[in-house]
Amino acid sequence: MGNNKASKLANGKYLLLLNADTISDFKIYEELIGYIDQNPQVGVVGPKCIDERGVVQESFGTEPTILKEIFGKIFMSLYLEKIPVFKNLKNKILFKKEIKMVDWIGGACVLIRKTLWDKIEGLDSKYFFSNADMIDFCSQIRSLGFKCVYYPKVSIIHKGSRIVTQDLKTRSEGLKNGYLGSLYLLKKRQKSSLYIYAMKMIYIIISFTKGIISLFLILFSKKFKDIALSHLNVSFYLCKNFFKNNL
């Protein structure tokens, strides 16, 4: 993983993980550094992330549960943002004015104490394209007695939704890897096989339902075609590989 390799060359007090598809100002990082300097109990801090359309992104959260996963996969979906009611609902849920302690911060832009990064040995390289790597990492940060903080007083523009939805293949891979990352997190936390199979079934139902709804919406807009096909492709993939232990 690139972040892990690059971190070995870093010798500063903090590490800043920053996606290439972001737009920001150096003053943002200065403010994050100022905050973490003044709060020695904070191990990880991240700003508000919005996309180019002004939609607030899910860049923080609490520990996942089955109900939270269902809610997140439905109402936090990038793909339902094309429907105004879901876009407005997502913005309302994620809009926060005050600094708050959270369970995890997303990796699009996050400031981390270098000593903690080295102690944990960075991110687990088996994750790809999902928040699960940072959920896992931040859980370890908290187990060491440090806090993870969402700092919405500054924000960056993260074009991640545009990148991942640029074509059918990329969209399908992004969806698939998001689900696989979440399942790997459950396996790593030694959840029971029954629990993991239940989550697989939930993911299949959610993705298949989104695919069918998007097929209907093609009647009103052709932009839903790739959305429909990607969700149906991923639900088929999960069904086909349902009993494989590496999922």
Per-residue model confidence (pLDDT) at position 166: 61
Return the domain boundaries, the chain. Answer: 1-160, 165-247
Question: In the CATH hierarchy, which top-level class contains the domain 1-160?
Answer: alpha beta
Residue-by-residue DSSP string for 30-83: HHHHHHHHH-TTEEEEEEEEE-TTSPBP--EE----HHHHHHHHHHT-SGGGGS
pLDDT tens for 162-205 read 555 567 888 888 888 889 999 999 998 888 999 999 999 999 99
pLDDT mean over 126-152 = 91
C-alpha to C-alpha distance for 175 and 82, rounded to whole angstroms:
17
Q: Which of 6-15, 87-96, 133-142 has the lowest mean pLDDT?
A: 87-96
Which residues are bridge partners to 111 per DSSP? 16, 45
pLDDT tens for 72-122 read 777 666 566 666 777 777 777 777 889 999 999 998 999 999 999 999 999
Of the chain, the end-to-end C-alpha distance in Å amounts to 20
pLDDT tens for 216-240 read 988 888 878 888 999 999 999 999 9
User: Which tokens in the block code for residue 104?
Assistant: 């995890």
C-alpha to C-alpha distance for 108 and 131, rounded to whole angstroms:
10
Instruction: Give which of 31, 23, 30, 79 is closest to 51, Cα–Cα.
Output: 23
Amino acid of residue 45: V
C-alpha to C-alpha distance for 141 and 232, rounded to whole angstroms:
37
